[in-house]
Structure 1
């Protein structure tokens, strides 16, 4: 029995890997559209539920029979706690008795498994979503009932008859597991609480990562065209032009680079005050301008691993980290104590703890 469970768990995790990759980008897009960021705790809970659901389904329905002979055998049990009678009969037939014999019997372990299978559901419903005991019991019962109906219908008609018994004891055990999960949820430290939507949404005036990327693309296009037509690709002039576009111009115009001016955002201090040239320069040194300078000036035979590390640090620090923060500030902004804000709005200072 244990080996079949292990194979089902493997199949469930295999399905999670494939499905998880497919839904990753849509999940990010959905979160970003709704909240203006990807809230890490929400994403963790959703991915955890996805993994749990697929593994649970694999344990419930796998293995599928390669050939099924319908003999007319009764494949539904409507007698509550029939498993206790079955266990007693089994123990009596094998001449066994006592607590050890009970807890090691196949029938008891099967029911214990049915309880344990729904414990994570109860934990998540209470700890992450704040559901009460009645809601948890109702949801657990509803899901378990749906599973039993699918089993009794031969997987919704995929098979001419059921290959597993639809059992009322499974309903009882699964529902009890949900309630047990609700009871132990406070001590489940690894399960995070999902914050209220108001605490997940980016504050007013926050400039999204896609908007900043588009502004950056405009600046890079101008840099590439001018560097090619005027400076014939001279690498020192390329670096100087990048500094002029991304540091000098914003310092003189109150934080506006060309792309930011076109898309109506600029670089300011978190409290809304003007960012001085030193802060803008530090921000760009740790961000895209620093990457442009590295690409232009680094030796052609430099170590490939170093190149990848520099690229990864800039991309992750400047464009991945902000996706998960309410204020959308990346590592360069955090170090330089700056923030990109929309120029079309009078944006208040970011509240304390806004980046969490």
Structure 2
């Protein structure tokens, strides 16, 4: 395996995990910090990819369990790398081309993002950065030493105490770089009890969360039902998801969206960004039904149930929902306005206390 492939694997896995955790991340950001910022979102994504890259580069490539490979002997000598560097230098190799020195430098560089990001995200100082680097490095080295915790009969990668030292040093250097580059902030967590304005960005973020929840629930349901059919109900049958399984996934995803709207008037995405729908035409059940029908529920129904022109109508409705949020002064949007509802910050309601 080349040097690029583990990084690509880390990015792909990181993207999948980020999508799965996006809605919980949004909800946690609003409850812990009162808002969600682009810089911290990028920081968390970078931390996730950095953490995964540490594992992919230190565990991969892994041999097949049936392959013959030489078991490695743990290195407990702190001076091993220094002796290797000096030995290669005696052969007349330039310092830049010294392979042993390159390994040391890469081990240091590899953990610098970790030290940088823990200071940026958590305001951890040098001591905590060093401890985080040591703990992560020790977890990786122990995984190597145990053959991925018993998956292999012995270690196929070298456990080295010098790696612990270099990785910890990398985290410290990353923390020092962050200290020099980042502006000092007065507080890590702003007051979360203070209501914030209902902005277009906040409304669109809530709509994105609703779309993600629906899509993930539909997809995961379809996969689970397909696996049950192949493994339990009809072993040996085709692994291709059939229309019934797809329809069941869409139905359950739609139900997950509709139930909160019909019961509370507020969608899951709006709850994630600490918004709450208030008011509505009487009776409230009718108002909430109108809102669900003109919101994501209507988009899904048009796309899935209306033949020929359904996809086009669904696209028009989706665009109308986005545009009306952007142009509406109070950010109610098409569905909420048709239902006579208003969207307010949940913290502005005395009885509303964020979880």
| 193 and 70 in structure 1: CA distance in 2 versus 1, 3 angstrom threshold | farther
| 157 and 201 in structure 1: CA distance in 2 versus 1, 3 angstrom threshold | farther
Q: 2:114 aligns with which of 115, 121, 144?
A: 121
Q: 2:100 aligns with which of 99, 107, 114?
A: 107
- 1:45 equivalent to 2:39? Answer no
Provide the C-alpha distance between the structure 1 equivalents of 2:98 and 2:14, rounded to a whole number of angstroms: 32
Provide the C-alpha distance between the structure 1 equivalents of 2:108 and 2:169, rounded to a whole number of angstroms: 6
The answer to whether the Cα contact below 8 Å between 1:37 and 1:201 also exists between their aligned partners in 2 is no
Structure 1: stretches of 5+ with no match in the other structure: 222-254, 264-286, 296-300, 319-329, 348-356
CA displacement, residues 215-250 of structure 1 (integer Å, 9 cap, x when unaligned)? 9967xx9xxxxxxxxxxxxxxxxxxxxxxxxxxxxx
Provide the C-alpha distance between the structure 2 equivalents of 1:143 and 1:7, rounded to a whole number of angstroms: 22
Q: 1:312 aligns with which of 307, 319, 322?
A: 319
| 36 and 343 in structure 1: CA distance in 2 versus 1, 3 angstrom threshold | closer
Moved over 6 A (4+): 191-195, 204-211, 213-218, 304-307, 342-347
- 1:23 equivalent to 2:21? Answer yes
**What is the aligned residue count?**
259
Classify the secondary structure of the residue corresponding to 2:92.
coil
| 316 and 113 in structure 1: CA distance in 2 versus 1, 3 angstrom threshold | farther
Provide the C-alpha distance between the structure 2 equivalents of 1:113 and 1:132, rounded to a whole number of angstroms: 23
| TM-align CA RMSD | 4.8
Map 1:323-338 → 2, pairs under 5 A? 332-333=328-329
Classify the secondary structure of the residue corresponding to 1:75.
coil
The answer to whether the Cα contact below 8 Å between 1:16 and 1:51 also exists between their aligned partners in 2 is yes
Looking at CA atoms only, which structure, 1 or 2, has the larger radius of gyration?
1
Deviation at 1:143, TM superposition (A): 1.2
Q: TM-score, length-normalised on structure 2?
A: 0.57
> Could you tell me which residue of structure 1 aligns to residue 144 of structure 2?
151
> Could you tell me which residue of structure 1 aligns to residue 220 of structure 2?
none
Deviation at 1:69, TM superposition (A): 3.6
Q: TM-score, length-normalised on structure 1?
A: 0.57
- 1:134 equivalent to 2:127? Answer yes
> Could you tell me which residue of structure 1 aligns to residue 195 of structure 2?
203
> Could you tell me which residue of structure 1 aligns to residue 281 of structure 2?
258
Deviation at 1:62, TM superposition (A): 0.7
Deviation at 1:146, TM superposition (A): 1.4
